[in-house]
Amino acid sequence: MNEQIEAIRPRLNSIQQRALIVGVIGTAGIVAGAFMDSEQFYRSYLIGYLFWIGIPLGSFCLLMLHNLVGGPWGFTIRRLLEAGAKSLPLMAILFIPLLFGTHTLYEWTHADIVAKDEVLKNKEFYFNLNFFYVRVAIYFLFWIGYSLFILRMMRRREKNGESPVSPGLQNLSGLGIVLFAITITLAVIDWAMSIEPHWSSTIYGLILIIGQALLTFCFTVIMVASMMGMAPKFAERIRAVYFNDLGNFMLAFTLLWAYTSLSQLIIIWGANLPEEATWYSVRLYTSWKIVPIVLFAFHFFAPFFLLLSRKIKRNPKFLMRVAMLLIVMRLVDLIWFIEPAFNRTGFHVSWMDFVAPIGIGGIFVYWFIGRLKGADTMLPVNTPFLAQQAEHH
């Protein structure tokens, strides 16, 4: 097992260095953009932040899901999911710039506007800055604390040669999934949906949670496929069926994303309430309408038919390309969620909408690789599925 780490370490060092360079250049670009247009800076930074925090949150949710349902697929990507979950402290730090942009991003922070708006007055008990800051602190304290607790429990069981899953761990994971779903939904409402405080949707948070899970699977597929070329001994242990499983999960969450997105549209459009339909009228009856066409074609239609193919799902290179496509579409989807709130007359995308995700992404990948290199092995030990497979090599 240690040979896997040693074989892969030089390449990981190279990736980490490149990620740092990209992160520094991207950060410099977005900082320059902040001096040029501070309002656009906060919008773009929010898009980039919502994109990348999906991987740490999605990673830990998938770890807990695997603790509940089991299966070989989860053991092959466990170290990646652990590294993702360990990146939550970084995301807490990267949230700080958004704390300075609340007045720019959120209409409900303007006392003069709230005083003249009955809807905002009725929501003032929840949407006020002091309570907003408290909720941010609660979210990150819970996410970081709960993830560290379960990760330590998992590592302790692995080092002691115990079964990777126990009733206690399953119970904690089941509870954790519920609590994570609640807190992530509330965070999405606070950070994204409240940009348009007159509008609300009970499916909004679920759509973004599903997007986070899909993004995490795509990211891990790319990482596993890349590492197979770095470490032959690691590649020997990764069967095609594991990629097939990951491809099936990508297909399932692609369908879930399409189903929930369409459900939200049908419910809101069918109700035909002005305060709800306005959100879609801006996005469907202006030049923004090109974006949902692109999303339908490349976030659903193309991936759906590609992922139906068993041959593609079992081929790491092909599956990695589908994953890359979906990652790009996740960013496009987030831009479509955020930018029209500030550009209601028609399509407008800033260069910072792309530079911000690149800058945050470089920093994230640098941190992620650092956590991944800290693992003793690339695959968990004392795992029945992998132990049986090892006997054949």
CA-wise closest residue to 203 among 254, 265, 281, 119:
265
pLDDT tens-digit map of 363-381: 999 999 999 888 777 767 6
Calpha distance 168→331 (Å, rounded): 37
Calpha distance 54→11 (Å, rounded): 25
pLDDT at 240: 64
Question: Crossing angle, helix 2-36 and helix 38-69, to 10 degrees?
Answer: 150
Say how far residue 205 (Cα) sits from the centre of its chain: 13
CA-wise closest residue to 264 among 206, 195, 329:
206
Reduced to 3 states (helix: H, G, I; strand: E, B; else coil), residue 105 is: helix
- Residue whose entry in the numeric block shows the structure tokens 């996005």: 283
Reduced to 3 states (helix: H, G, I; strand: E, B; else coil), residue 127 is: coil
CA-wise closest residue to 281 among 196, 204, 340, 339:
340
Buried b (16+ CB within 10 A) or exposed e, 354-390: bbbbbbbbbbbbbbbbbbbeebeebbbeebebbeebe
- Residue ranges, the chain, pLDDT below 70: 1-7, 229-240, 379, 381-393
pLDDT at 229: 63
pTM of the predicted structure, to 2 decimals: 0.93
> What one-letter code names the amino acid at 3?
E
* Residues 6 or more apart whose Cβ sits within 8 Å of residue 323: 217, 218, 219, 221, 222, 250
Calpha distance 346→360 (Å, rounded): 27
CB of 36 closer than 8 Å to CB of 177: no
Calpha distance 294→313 (Å, rounded): 23
Calpha distance 187→170 (Å, rounded): 25
CB of 338 closer than 8 Å to CB of 195: yes
Would you give the DSSP letter of residue 77? S
> What one-letter code names the amino acid at 59?
S
CA-wise closest residue to 330 among 189, 218, 252:
218
CB of 216 closer than 8 Å to CB of 54: yes
Kindly list the domain boundaries of the chain, sorted by start residue. 2-374
CB of 60 closer than 8 Å to CB of 84: yes
Q: Please, how many CA atoms are within 13 Å of residue 286, restricted to the half-sphere of its CB?
A: 17
